[in-house]
Amino acid sequence: MENETVDRYELEAEFYDKIYDYKEDIPLYLEYSKNVKGAVLECGCGTGRILLPLAREGIKVVGIDTSKKMLAVARRKIAEESEEVRSRIKLVEADMRNFELEERFSLCIIAFSTFLHLLTVEDQERTLRCIHKHLLPDGKVIISVFNPDLSRPQNLVRLDKIKHVDNEIIMRFTMQKFDFPNQLMDVWHIYDFVKLDGTVKRHVVYFKLRYIFYNEMIELLKRTGYEIEAVYGDHKKTPFNEKSPLMVFVARRKK
């Protein structure tokens, strides 16, 4: 077996949509996007998993991301769309902590726990203030993150994905280690690429997340210029409670 440690998104970009084939959140983002008059901004748009369905429904959307490889995949997918859909999409390589765009938006989306890549409170505040600056009056932000469950077993390796991609089987093992005082998670994704002849190549990707708690997020939004409109426990708009798997915050920009 050949092992290699690589950058997460350099590796995952090419098969991201098959590994992360999550679609349950798209109806929620479509609903909110259709109820605003201006363009939509997605921070951490990746390969366009959310961005493309919005554009197909007639919504003008700008996506920003720091990963050149993920944006390259998104551009390939966009190129296959109709001219009408393509005209509604703009991609920008940018950091959500500090970006400058000419457009102002009616809605900003940070989906799929992307907000947790911000590893300090300072970076969280910088991001929310930067978004605030780019929102129209009464513009909204939707942030979806997992609800931390600190009672589950820690430091275990688990097999959480098996996918057939082209002529390979991709098996993903995940290991997490928690730094409780700093609310940080070390995460390893261990990918085994199994070919038809039985040979296996292993790639290991490592990244950090900073999980956030309900009350902490509420206060963070308030002090960066937002009013809380709703908090859901999933993407079906179920009211949040302590056992909810997700925290989906909908906040409006204060004038």
* Judgement on whether residues 155 and 144 belong to the same structural domain of the protein: no
Q: What is the pLDDT of residues 139-196, one digit of tens each?
A: 999 999 999 987 766 667 788 888 887 788 999 999 998 899 999 999 999 999 999 8
CA separation, residue 86 to residues 75, 89, 99 (Å): 10, 6, 23
| pTM, entire model | 0.93
Tell me whether residue 68 is in a domain: yes
Per-residue pLDDT, 22:
86
Q: What is the pLDDT of residues 92-105, one digit of tens each?
A: 999 999 999 999 99
Tell me whether residue 14 is in a domain: no
The rounded distance, in Å, linking the Cα atoms of 152 and 211 is 15
**Which amino acid belongs to residue 143?**
I
* Judgement on whether residues 232 and 140 belong to the same structural domain of the protein: yes
CA gyration radius, the chain: 19
* Judgement on whether residues 134 and 68 belong to the same structural domain of the protein: yes
Is pLDDT at 21 greater than 90 in this prediction? no
* Judgement on whether residues 55 and 125 belong to the same structural domain of the protein: yes
Q: How confident is the model at residue 5 (pLDDT cuts 50, 70, 90)?
A: low
Per-residue pLDDT, 198:
85
Tell me whether residue 23 is in a domain: yes
Tell me whether residue 227 is in a domain: yes
Domains: count for the chain: 2
* Judgement on whether residues 66 and 97 belong to the same structural domain of the protein: yes
* Judgement on whether residues 57 and 143 belong to the same structural domain of the protein: yes
Per-residue pLDDT, 19:
81
Q: How confident is the model at residue 11 (pLDDT cuts 50, 70, 90)?
A: confident
User: Angle of helix 121-134 relative to helix 214-223, nearest 10 degrees?
Assistant: 50
* Judgement on whether residues 132 and 153 belong to the same structural domain of the protein: no
* Judgement on whether residues 67 and 125 belong to the same structural domain of the protein: yes
* Judgement on whether residues 84 and 31 belong to the same structural domain of the protein: yes
* Judgement on whether residues 75 and 144 belong to the same structural domain of the protein: yes
Tell me whether residue 57 is in a domain: yes
